[in-house]
């Protein structure tokens, strides 16, 4: 079994666990806080550890793992192994964790840490404290398709919301944010998260 650990700004440690063979490739999404909780379980015909990566390849850290899958499940856990999970139709394989509760104190700290300018070599954007969203650039190869009409940003637990003047917009998962790095869910089917670096003002 292999594991990919993703530190989360929401007070949870996210884990992607995979068991791969020539006939079946299973994947478990686990969250750890005071307990390890199983959030999702699916399988695919392609090896998950080779198929999924970080946008920054150097950040990928699949490791060998020898432990049990937790028996405790999240409140909204649903297991469906009747057919393979279709990666290409899903924008976010970690979406099952969005139902986990987030402490208000942790969320308020996370929201404040989002304020700033972020870039990843393709896209550069600014989240202002006033709630204004400014898109400085968005490359054609970017795995996040920012709307050029978006002017406002807001959040709810696990999610960054971008809106234009009419209220229409897009959303993406937030998985990690600190003084240097922001990780958002990617719109590219073979990328787990999109890494952004904070720009010093």
Q: How far apart are CA 120 and CA 139, in angstroms?
A: 10
Alpha helices, DSSP H, located in the chain: 48-51, 104-113
**Torsions phi, psi of 110, nearest 5?**
-65, -45
- Those residues with Cβ within 8 angstroms of residue 120's Cβ, 6 or more apart along the chain or in another chain: 55, 56, 142, 194, 195, 196, 197
Closest to 38 in 3D by CA, of 2, 7, 79? 79
CA 26 to mean position of chain CA atoms: 19
How confident is the model at residue 58, as a pLDDT? 46
Q: Which residues of 75-98 are buried (b: 16+ CB within 10 A; e: fewer)?
A: eeeeeeeeeebebeeeebbbbbbb
Considering only CA atoms, which of 198, 188, 144 is closest in space to residue 170? Answer: 144
pLDDT at 53: 60
What is the spatial distance between Cα 34 and Cα 112, in angstroms, rounded to a whole number?
Answer: 24
In order of 32, 48, 63, the CA distances from 11 in angstroms are 9, 25, 22
Give the pLDDT confidence score for residue 9 in this predicted structure: 65
Determine the pLDDT at residue 51.
Answer: 61
Please tell me the distance from the alpha carbon of residue 128 to that of residue 145, in angstroms, as a whole number: 19
Q: Return the pLDDT at 134.
A: 92
User: Would you state the pLDDT for residue 46?
Assistant: 74
Residuewise pLDDT in 10s, the chain (201 residues): 888 777 666 778 888 888 888 778 888 989 888 889 999 998 877 777 766 665 554 445 778 888 789 999 988 887 878 887 766 555 567 778 888 888 888 888 888 889 999 998 888 999 999 999 998 887 665 556 667 788 999 988 788 999 888 878 788 888 778 788 888 887 666 677 788 899 986
CA of residue 100 relative to chain centroid, distance: 14
Provide the pLDDT for residue 143.
52
Confidence (pLDDT) at 129: 92
- pLDDT score at 198: 93
Cα–Cα dist 103/125, whole Å: 27
């Amino acid at each position: 079994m292999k594991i990919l650990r993703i530190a989360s700004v929401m007070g949870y440690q996210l884990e992607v666990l995979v068991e791969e063979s020539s006939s079946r490739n299973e994947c478990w999404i686990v969250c750890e806080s005071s307990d390890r909780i199983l959030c999702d379980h699916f399988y695919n015909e392609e090896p998950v550890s080779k198929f999924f990566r970080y946008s920054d390849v150097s950040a990928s850290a699949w490791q060998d793992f020898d432990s049990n899958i937790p028996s405790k499940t999240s409140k909204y856990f649903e297991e469906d192994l009747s057919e393979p999970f279709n990666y290409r139709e899903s924008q976010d394989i970690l979406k099952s964790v969005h139902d986990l509760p987030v402490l208000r104190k942790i969320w308020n700290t996370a929201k404040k840490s989002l304020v700033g300018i972020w870039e990843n070599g393709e896209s550069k954007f600014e989240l202002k404290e006033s709630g204004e969203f400014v898109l400085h650039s968005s490359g054609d190869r970017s795995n996040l398709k920012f709307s050029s009409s978006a002017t406002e940003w807001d959040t709810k637990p696990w999610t960054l919301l971008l809106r234009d003047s009419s209220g229409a917009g897009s959303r993406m998962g937030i998985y990690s944010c600190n003084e240097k790095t922001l990780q958002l869910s990617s719109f590219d089917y073979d990328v787990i998260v999109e890494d952004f670096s904070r720009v010093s003002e």
